[in-house]
Structure 1
Amino acid sequence: MKRRDFVKLGSASAFAATSRLPGQMPMGGPASPAPPETGKADVTLRIAPVTVELAPDRILSTIGYNGTSPGPVLRMREGKPVTVDVINETDTPELVHWHGMLIPADVDGVEEQGTPFVPPQGRRRYQFTPNPAGSRWYHSHAMAYADLHKGSFTGQFGFVHIDSGSDPGQYDQELFLAIRDWEPFFTSSMEDDDEEGQNDPQLEKPAVLNTDPNGLEVNSMTYSINDKSLGAGEPIRVKEGQRVLFHLLNASAIENRRIALGGHKFKIIALDGNPVPTPQVVETVFLGAGERVDAVVEMNQPGVWVLGAPEDAIRTAGLGVIVEYANQHRQPQWIKPSSLLWDYTRFSAPEGNRPPPDQTIDMIFEKIPGGSGKFNTFLINGKPYPHENEFVLKQGLRYRLVYRNRTDDAHPMHLHRHQVELVEINGKKTYGIVKDTVVVPYFGRAAVEFVANQPGLSLFHCHIQQHMDYGFKALFRYKDM
């Protein structure tokens, strides 16, 4: 039985506005030796056990940064080198990945690229130059497999905001909100809501579907925004007439998610930290695992509202937060959005010219139900990881990657150490949308382009932890490495 056939049980500071195309991104440069540990670091992250009080009657234990989960919001300046000390107070080797940054492979925080582990009860110091400007984030990149207490199943995540110094500051409040699920468990009963946000043709749907029993997948029934479930903690307090800038992150290890704010609309100004060519107003924001969305909301509906998941079961299980206007004392209101559709092409520039790719690489995604014993196996071009020398880049060339998703899940695909331009989604062309993570619709197709200007190893993978663990990744390398 397929996954979708089951039924689920149960403050203000600078915002970056610089815009670059993939071929114009600054290069991270070659891998550099570890710097000597002298002097005080700009940032210190301690990896250690923490407790998270989602609600007064719901306290859980996990691993976090600096005593909290999410970890601290880190402010960095674009182009200004930083030193980071990572201290691991656990008994497990760890990795901290700087998601969306263009930095050398040895500090990107990925085992497959050669980043050293932070040893148990040990420490490492890294130096890098943060870029590009915009909303980035940091998180564990350790593998988990069948251990739901490792990797991104833990509370090891946090925001990084890289300031460009050129933000006009056209907002009154700035908020960092991470969508999160907790207490994961294995199940054969899963529900996907992907079809509610897609009405495009299923260009990659196989003529004959695999009807083998699905392997165990990871689910959750406990949710929060940041560290509080809906109804717990302090509300977001606003005033009528304010413009609020929301930095939204899907920090889930498990699922893509939607979010809406009753009575209000979001003006989308950036995707994955990169300004969109055409800002648009939407009712519902969709975020694949690992994606970020920056949106401005005009506070023009006085009252007390719920910002949360449109799905009743998910929202009432915690995925929400109350937004309260000044001098308003009412029961929180929830209004379901009239549409759940999300379409990247809405934020595209008008049709334009771009140089043709020097090379096109097809990447076919498939799932073998139960291919890894109890779990599913995921394939790229017929094989699980590793892919020896299949994806070899030549520096300076422009590449088109065509993602052909022949599975019944929507996959958030992330290419490390590069920014890509989305050029097509399910047959519709787009221009100027620059991202680091792209959700490929179930049975759908997407195409991205980038210039190979980041020498070194670069991991490509689905950002759902279990999918990555069981084969859904590949390593890009540069020629002559």
Structure 2
Amino acid sequence: MKRRDFLRSGAMALAAPGLRDTGLYGLSQMGQMAMPPQGQPSAVPMAGPPADITLRIEPVTVELAPDRILSTIGYNGTSPGPILRMKEGKPVTVDVINRTDTPELVHWHGFLISPETDGVEEQGARPIPPQGTRRLQFTPALGGSRWYHTHAMAESDLHKGAYTGQFGFVYVDPASGDPGHYDQEHFLALRDWEPFFSSTMEDDDDEDGKPALQPEKPTRDLPGSPGLEVSSMTYSINDKSLGAGHPIRVKQGDRVLFHLLNASAIENRRIAFAGHKFRIIAMDGNPVPTPVEVDAIFLGAGERVCAVVEMNNPGVWILGATNDMIRNAGLGIIVEYANQHKKAVWAKPGPASWDYTIFGKPGAPAQKPDAVIDMVFEKMPSGMGKFNAWLINGKPYPHEREFVLEQGKRYRLIYRNRTDDAHPMHLHRHQTELVEINGKWTHGLIKDTVVVPYFGRASVDFVADQPGLTLFHCHIQNHMDYGFKALFRYA
């Protein structure tokens, strides 16, 4: 049975997440790693001046609701970890202390930094050993919403990697110092917990109905029974499920800036804010060329969206998943206007589908690529024993020397998704410009993670200006673990 052919019934109705009421934050790029003496990790404080930031990887408990407390691994005693504030162009030093019994990696998602500092073993980063310490030094090169998370493999162990609580926001304050006009700012991470294996699962990929265009749909299904994938029935925004924790409290007339992150290791998600519209101003930390109001937002795993909401509809409302089962199982938060003491209301948004191109500029980019790389995505049912195998151009990772870049050239990657899943594709250490999706051309929309529709096509351009090994992968942990990644090299 295909993922979207199965609808789970029933779920726990848990309640709404708390928020972190914080100011703008900023992050960085272009860096290098400084090792302890003799290059060996150390469990003692690093020599030299104190670090700007200390991250402790350690066991934590997460109280999703008074009657639901989870144990996992997080940062500095919490999950999500602390919101890290950086300044564009200002060097930062981070000490990472691993207080667990397994090797770990911290990836700086959306940063333009060296392969080793990026925190990915495939690019040459050394894992931080149990009880070890690593000092990182880099300079954020781009303002906007970034994030940090583990990049450890999990495979069949659902207590490792991105299935744990190791994730957190980084906001890099732009060097311009102009944060825009807003009255409140909130960082909201969508999250699923207590993962389990299943050969049938529900997703949000076609909640608006079957896509009108499916240019890459194969003429026949690949043989074999479906392998196991990962699902969940427990959700939250930040560390609270819908109905638990404090609501977001607003006043009529407020302009509220939401920084949204899909921190799921499992699925893409669609969310809406009952009685209100989102004005999308940035994606993956980068301002969009055409800010547009929408009823709902579709967020691939790893994607970020910054949106402003005009608080002009007094009441008590739910911001959460448009899928009733997922929202009732925890993926939501209550927004309460001043002097309104009512039951929280949910209203399903209209059927408009998510379209990246409305936030870009119409037409193809003026600059042509120097080279084009075709990438065909396929799934081999049960191709890795109990699990599906994920292939790029007919092969799983590593694609040894298959994708070799020449520094300074502009490349176009054409993603041909011949599977029945929408895949959030992430290219490390580079920024990509979306130029086409299912035959519709656009330009000016800069992202680091792009969701390729199921049986669909997307094209992105990028300049090869970050020498060194560069990982490319689907941001769903199970897919990445079982072959859905490739290593780009510079000539």
Q: TM-score, with normalisation over the residues of structure 2? A: 0.93
- Partner amino acid for 1:149? H
Q: Which residue number in structure 1 is paired with residue 35 of structure 2? A: 34
Q: CA deviation at 1:436?
A: 0.1
SS in 2 for 1:196: coil
Q: Residue 17 of structure 2 corresponds to which residue in structure 1? A: none
Mark the runs of 5 or more structure 2 residues left unpaired by the alignment.
11-20, 38-45
User: Which AA in structure 2 matches 1:191?
Assistant: E
Alignment CA distance shift 1:50-1:32 (3 Å): closer
What is aligned with 1:147? 157
Aligned to 2:192: 181
For residue 352 of structure 1, report the CA deviation from its aligned partner.
6.2
Partner of 1:406: 418
Amino acid at match of 2:35: A
The residue type equivalent to 2:139 in the other structure is: T
Equivalent position of 1:21 in the other structure = none
Report the Cα distance in structure 2 between the residues aligned to 1:87 and 1:216, rounded to whole angstroms. 34
Q: 1:381 aligns with which of 374, 393, 410?
A: 393
Q: Distance in 2 between matches of 1:64 and 1:168?
A: 29
Residue number in structure 2 paired with 1:8: 8
Q: Report SS of the residue matched to 1:370.
A: strand
Instruction: Look up the equivalent residue of 2:181 and give its one-letter code.
Output: Q
Q: For 1:237-386, what aligned pairs fall within 5 Å after superposition?
A: 237-351=249-363, 353-386=365-398
Question: Counterparts of 1:382-397 in structure 2 under 5 Å?
Answer: 382-397=394-409
1:12: how far off?
A: 5.8
1-side partners of 2:352 and 2:220: how far apart?
A: 29
Matches within 5 A, 1:168-247: 168-197=179-208, 199-247=211-259
SS of the equivalent of 1:467 reads: helix
Whole-angstrom distance in 2 between the partners of 1:172 and 1:12: 12
Q: Which amino acid aligns with 2:476?
A: I
Residue 22 (structure 1) aligns with: none
Aligned to 1:112, the other structure's residue is in SS state helix
The alignment-based identity, stated in percent, is 72
* 1:60 and 2:50 correspond: no
My pick for the range that moved more, 344-353 or 416-425, is 344-353
1:131 shift after superposition = 2.2
Change (3 A) 1:119 1:188: same
| Change in 2 beyond 3 A, CA 1:15/1:347 | farther
Q: Post-superposition shift, 1:353?
A: 4.4
* Distance apart, 1:33 and its partner CA: 5.0
**Aligned mates of 1:297, 1:273 — CA distance in 2:** 17
Asked if 1 retains the 8 angstrom alpha-carbon contact of 2:432 and 2:461, the reply is yes
Distance 2:328 2:103 in 1: 36
**How far apart in 1 are the matches of 2:106 and 2:352?**
34
Matched position secondary structure for 1:71? coil
**Aligned AA for 1:440?**
V
* Segment of structure 1 superposing worse, 190-199 or 54-63: 190-199
Secondary structure in structure 1 of the residue aligned to 2:154: coil
Distance of 1:244 and 1:265 partners within structure 2: 11
How far apart are 1:349 and its partner, in Å? 1.6
Q: Conserved in 2, the CA contact under 8 Å of 1:6 and 1:190?
A: yes
Corresponding residue of 1:78: 88
Answer yes or no: is the 8 Å Cα contact 2:404–2:489 preserved in 1: yes
Deviation at 1:355? 1.4
2:99 aligned residue = 89
1:111-126, aligned counterparts within 5 Å? Answer: 111-126=121-136
Provide the C-alpha distance between the structure 2 equivalents of 1:353 and 1:472, rounded to a whole number of angstroms. 29
Deviation for aligned residue 1:2: 2.3
Shift of 1:165: 3.5
- Check whether the contact 1:104–1:456 (CA below 8 A) recurs between aligned residues: yes
Alpha-carbon shift at residue 189 of structure 1 (Å): 2.0
**Residue in structure 1 matching 2:462, options 419, 425, 450:** 450
- Bigger mean CA offset, 422-431 vs 209-218: 209-218
Q: CA deviation at 1:229?
A: 0.2
Question: Any idea what the Cα deviations from partners look like across 1:125-165, whole Å, max 9, x if unmatched?
Answer: 11011121100000000000000000000000000000114
Question: Is 1:109 aligned with 2:119?
Answer: yes
Cα distance, 1:13 vs. partner? 3.5
The separation in 2 between residues aligned to 1:199 and 1:399, in whole angstroms, is 28
Cα deviation, 1:74-117, whole Å, max 9, x if unaligned, reads 00001111100000000000000000000111100100001111
1:106 alignment partner, SS class: coil
Find the partner of 1:429 among 441, 457, 469: 441
8 Å CA contact 1:422–1:431 kept in 2: the answer is yes
Q: Distance in 2 between matches of 1:182 and 1:358?
A: 43
Residues 405-433 of structure 1 deviation map (CA, whole Å, 9 limit, x = unaligned): 00000000000000000000000001100
Once residues 295 and 437 of structure 1 are traced to their aligned partners in structure 2, the CA distance between those partners, rounded to angstroms, is 17
Residue 213 of structure 1 and its aligned partner are, at CA, apart by: 1.3
Q: Does structure 2 conserve the Cα–Cα contact (< 8 Å) formed by 1:15 and 1:169?
A: no
Using a 3 Å threshold, how does the CA distance of structure 1 residues 473 and 232 change in structure 2: closer, same or farther? same
Structure 1 unaligned segments of length 5 or more: list them. 19-25
Instruction: Please give the per-residue CA displacement for 1:267-294, whole angstroms capped at 9, x wherever unaligned.
Output: 0000111000000000001100000000
Q: Is the 8 A contact 2:289 2:359 kept in 1?
A: yes
Alpha carbons 2:33, 2:135 under 8 Å: kept? no
Work out whether residues 284 and 339 of structure 1, in 8 Å CA contact, stay in contact via their aligned partners in 2.
no
- Residue 126 of structure 1 aligns to a residue whose secondary structure is strand
Q: Which shows bigger deviation, 34-43 or 323-332?
A: 34-43
Q: CA deviation at 1:188?
A: 1.6
The CA distance in 1 between the partners of 2:406 and 2:385, in whole Å, is 38
Structure 2 counterpart of 1:131? 141
Secondary structure of 1:346's counterpart equals helix
193-202 or 290-299, which deviates more: 193-202
CA distance, structure 1, for counterparts of residue 107 and residue 219 of structure 2: 39
Judge which range, 205-214 or 117-126, deviates more.
Answer: 205-214
Q: 1:372 to 1:92 in 2, by over 3 A?
A: same
Q: Partners in 2 of 1:402 and 1:35 — Cα distance?
A: 42
Number of aligned residue pairs? 470
